Amino acid sequence: MKSLSRSQYILDNMRNAMQPNSHASRRISAVAMAVALSSPLAAATPDERAKALEARMTPEEQQALVHGIMALPIVPGTVMPPDAIPGAGYVPGVPRLGIPALKETDASLGVSYVSGMRKDGATALPSAALMGATWNPDLLREGGAMIGGEARAKGFNVLLAGGVNLVRDPRNGRNFEYFGEDPLHSGILAGAAVTGVQSAGVISTVKHFAVNAQETGRQILNSKIGEAAARESDLLAFEIAIERGQPGAVMCAYNRVNGDYSCENAELLDRTLKRDWGYPGFVMSDWGAVHGVEAAIAGLDQQSGAQLDKQVWFGAPLKQKVASDPAYAARLRDMNRRILRSMIAANVIDNPPVKAAIDFEKNAAVARRVADEGIVLLRNRGVLPLVAGARSIAVIGGYADTGVLSGGGSSQVAEEGGPAAVIPMGGEGPFAFLRSAYFHKSPPLAAIRARAKGAAVTFNDGSYVADAARTAARADVAIVFATQWMMEGYDVADLGLPNGQDALIEAVAQANPNTIVVLQTGGPVLMPWLDKTAAVVEAWYPGARGGDAIAAVLFGEVNPSGKLPVTFPASYDQLPRPRIPGWDTIDKSFDGTGNEGKLLDVDYDIEGSDVGYRWFARKGEKPLFPFGHGLSYTDFRFGDLKLSGGNSLTARFTVTNSGKVAGKEVAQAYLLSGPQGTTRRLIGFAKVDLKPGESKVVTITADPRLLAQWDKPRHGWRLNGGRYAIGVGGSSADLPLTGEAVVAPRTIAP
Ligand code: BGC
């Protein structure tokens, strides 16, 4: 039997009591009725409660919740309210009605450090790219709960997490904040992360809605994309993340989509999000992304960081509109209801955050588990795992003696006491201080030393290539640590490793055939030296215990199970856009002040919904490393595929660990062809933990939207009936099992 909450029970009884001849009408007492009506529990659902609360608000109070400030005193003109916590944002509440202020902090990887302005540290999860590489929603739920718990313990009730833009360009400076290039994979993982955050009693966002696929000129970027292409790719990632995670808020983006700014885009906010998907929460703007009061009519519910915009549009201008235009008046009520609904649903009214001590050791262990599952072994010519036999190991470069790299910008997290090192990356202007690479206090060198019992471990910082090569030549094994720093607001100029690190790796690999390269990058890089290396490990930005996680993988203490959530291209001409649009012509500074009056059109219909590996499949291009790729220290065998069709498509198969050590495999199922022709599309995945010799049966049922096409004239999904072929295996390019099934035609509402 479904268990009823107390308030639901009271309401149900009330409803029964209203039926003229019901027994309940005789049973329920007038006292119970009075209690039910006056108690805050009277309205059982968040919608009902929000509606009742909104009805009690004065016009002034209704203005309060719809705009907030960036809660950082460094922004000129900012007056910090006495109860504000330095962080991303503050929206005043309505104390008279028990509505608390919204206290907002970034972001998806933990409670952000805001350049030390709050002077308290937090636990850094690995980058979202690494989290994407885990392919493990349960783990991300745990990670979300951990960072949500820290946000709450610091007094915040909103965490601006849930970055779910698809990786359309490997150079996008925020790729480290996103899960990958596939909508199903990103949607499932983001949904899980959001569920975790909100389980801690904190509202989470998903962001940046939508098609914010490059940072270069993000304020003047106009993402041009057809309706079907968007629905089948970037929007589908949001749709799935929202269905699964039920985030309290959706953050719209800086860029325009098909001509209209995301935050005043009625097609995106009103039609797609609110009407088609029935989204009940609120849309908050990105900071400095609102350009007029009309955004309210298009579907924006809250102006964030309003002092960054030209005007506090949702202040006096909205008030004026509300006084003269019923459409605005109706919207203001709806805006308030939506915000209140999310506050109630996430429990921030009934159970407000209480400042509390944080168990950083325990939380770092969560970050470590995520890192363990998201580090990807890209190549291994037998050198890994390192065995106790090596007498000497040369560790080279990448600040491996200091810590592990993290990505910059609003999502930057640092530990208690501050980061291990802050390296200024150069730049001018008021935001130049943000251009600093932070290293977390988890040095790989110490972690390697702790495990390399009996071996001499030497460190060379890699500044001088010839010297590093000589150090490598004298050792049994050389481990080169290479870094690519990325930051919000800037794309990387190219996919080479900066500061001559490609030459360093080349020389070290030349000097020592047992060269292992450990990459800490935001996303894909080119590897001109690949063939000369013995092994390559992609560690992304591995978070608070990254150094330990890297060493654990190198020494086989952890069997790598990460799989690429993005395609690593072999060259620029394989990409839909070999050069970053606007790179050579526009002002690339953080705030892009020199771009006033300019517009940067980017045509995403080149690839359309064929993002990443789908583009490579369409073009017949062979990448450097395919989507879904990742090696293990054991072997897996796939067998016994059984497919069934009908209303959707279900694949059943077995995965066997045929090797000698325990390990985890990510079983992936792809659509290969259907009545529309050939394609490649992830339709499901499962991470399976197997002891040596063990087999498990995996069942994957495709979400029918993944077999369908978006039908613009009919405004819905159209699934053509016919034969569908799928492939199953351990990577998008390694599908040992294939089969076909007949699927019935159907249409699916948007
Ligand atoms: C970023 C958002 C972030 C916000 C608040 C913006 O610049 O795009 O992701 O949540 O700032 O710090």
Distance CA 192, CA 144 (A): 8
Instruction: Kindly state the average pLDDT of the residues 458-481.
Output: 98
Nearest by Cα to 478 from 464, 460, 465: 460
Tokens of 235: 């929007």
pLDDT of 321 = 98
Residue pLDDT, tens place only, 530-551? 999 999 999 999 999 999 999 9
Catalytic residue among 106, 169, 286, 372: 286
Nearest by Cα to 297 from 323, 334, 324: 334
Q: Which atom of ligand 1 is nearest to the CA of 410?
A: 12
Residue pLDDT, tens place only, 136-147? 999 999 999 999
Contact 442, 548 (CB under 8 A): yes
Distance CA 350, CA 442 (A): 38
Q: Tell me the average pLDDT of the chain.
A: 93
Tokens of 104: 């907002």
Tokens of 197: 């955050």
Q: Indicate whether 9 pLDDT > 90.
A: no
Query: How long is the chain?
Result: 750
Residue pLDDT, tens place only, 662-679? 999 999 999 999 999 999
Range of lowest pLDDT (350-359, 589-598, 649-658, 726-735): 589-598
Q: Which atom of ligand 1 is nearest to the CA of 160?
A: 10
Residue 716 CB: number of other CB atoms within 10 A? 15
pLDDT category of residue 73 using cuts at 50, 70 and 90: confident
Distance 287 CA to ligand 1 centre (A): 6
What residue type is 174 in one-letter code? R
CA 106 to chain CA centroid, Å, is 12
Nearest by Cα to 518 from 388, 422, 399: 399
Q: What is the CA radius of gyration of the chain?
A: 26
Nearest by Cα to 624 from 515, 532, 530, 732: 530
pLDDT category of residue 158 using cuts at 50, 70 and 90: very high
Distance 286 CA to ligand 1 centre (A): 6
Residue pLDDT, tens place only, 354-370? 999 999 999 999 999 99
Instruction: Kindly state the average pLDDT of the residues 28-34.
Output: 33
Residue 703 Cβ < 6 Å to ligand 1: no
Residue 107 Cβ < 6 Å to ligand 1: yes
Report phi then psi at 408, rounded to 5. Answer: -100, 170
Residue pLDDT, tens place only, 496-505? 999 999 999 9
Kindly tell me the burial class for residue 313, based on how many C-beta atoms sit within 10 Å of its own C-beta (0-12, 13-18, 19 or more): buried
Residues ≥6 apart with Cβ < 8 Å to 353: 103, 151, 152, 153, 154, 155, 156, 157, 201, 202
Token pair 């990105």 is at which residue? Answer: 286
Token pair 């910090």 is at which residue? Answer: 80
**Residue of 102, 111, 159, 160 to test ligand 1 pocket, by largest number of atoms within 8 Å of CB:** 160
Q: Indicate whether 37 pLDDT > 50.
A: no
**Residue of 176, 252, 287 to test ligand 1 pocket, by largest number of atoms within 8 Å of CB:** 287
CA 703 to chain CA centroid, Å, is 21
pLDDT category of residue 590 using cuts at 50, 70 and 90: confident
Nearest by Cα to 181 from 557, 484, 604, 582: 604
Q: Which atom of ligand 1 is nearest to the CA of 107?
A: 10
What residue type is 377 in one-letter code? L
Helix ranges restricted to H, 154-276: 183-199, 227-231, 234-245, 266
Q: Indicate whether 287 pLDDT > 70.
A: yes
* Catalytic residue flag (residue 605): no
Tokens of 490: 């800037």
Report phi then psi at 335, rounded to 5. Answer: -60, -45
pLDDT of 495 = 98
pLDDT of 76 = 83
Distance CA 731, CA 133 (A): 12
Contact 700, 711 (CB under 8 A): no
Q: Indicate whether 17 pLDDT > 70.
A: no
Q: Indicate whether 36 pLDDT > 50.
A: no
Segment holding 748, helix H or strand E: strand 746-748
Q: Mapped to the 3 state alphabet, what secondary structure does 130-143 carry?
A: HHHHHCCHHHHHHH
Residue 410 Cβ < 6 Å to ligand 1: yes
Tokens of 666: 């990510």
pLDDT of 198 = 98
Distance 542 CA to ligand 1 centre (A): 22
Q: How many CA atoms lie within 13 A of 512 on its CB side?
A: 28
pLDDT category of residue 388 using cuts at 50, 70 and 90: low
DSSP annotation of 615 reads H
Residue pLDDT, tens place only, 239-281? 999 999 999 999 999 999 999 999 999 999 999 999 999 999 9
pLDDT category of residue 390 using cuts at 50, 70 and 90: confident
Q: Which atom of ligand 1 is nearest to the CA of 163?
A: 9
Residue 207 Cβ < 6 Å to ligand 1: yes
Segment holding 250, helix H or strand E: strand 249-252
Residue pLDDT, tens place only, 619-647? 999 999 999 999 999 999 999 999 999 99
Residue 253 Cβ < 6 Å to ligand 1: no
Contact 371, 447 (CB under 8 A): no
Nearest by Cα to 457 from 517, 399, 402, 395: 395
Distance CA 598, CA 602 (A): 13
Q: Indicate whether 124 pLDDT > 70.
A: yes
Residue 72 Cβ < 6 Å to ligand 1: no
Residue 33 CB: number of other CB atoms within 10 A? 15
Strands (E), 267-335: 282-284
Tokens of 135: 């392919």
Q: Whose CA is nearest to atom 3 of ligand 1?
A: 410
Q: How many CA atoms lie within 13 A of 183 on its CB side?
A: 26
DSSP annotation of 432 reads G
Tokens of 720: 């053509």
pLDDT over 90 for what percent of the chain?
90
Q: Which atom of ligand 1 is nearest to the CA of 89?
A: 5
Q: Whose CA is nearest to atom 11 of ligand 1?
A: 287
Asked if omega into 190 is within 30° of 0 (cis), the reply is: no
722 SS3 class: strand
Residue 590 Cβ < 6 Å to ligand 1: no
Distance CA 724, CA 363 (A): 45
**Residue of 410, 486, 591 to test ligand 1 pocket, by largest number of atoms within 8 Å of CB:** 410
pLDDT of 11 = 32
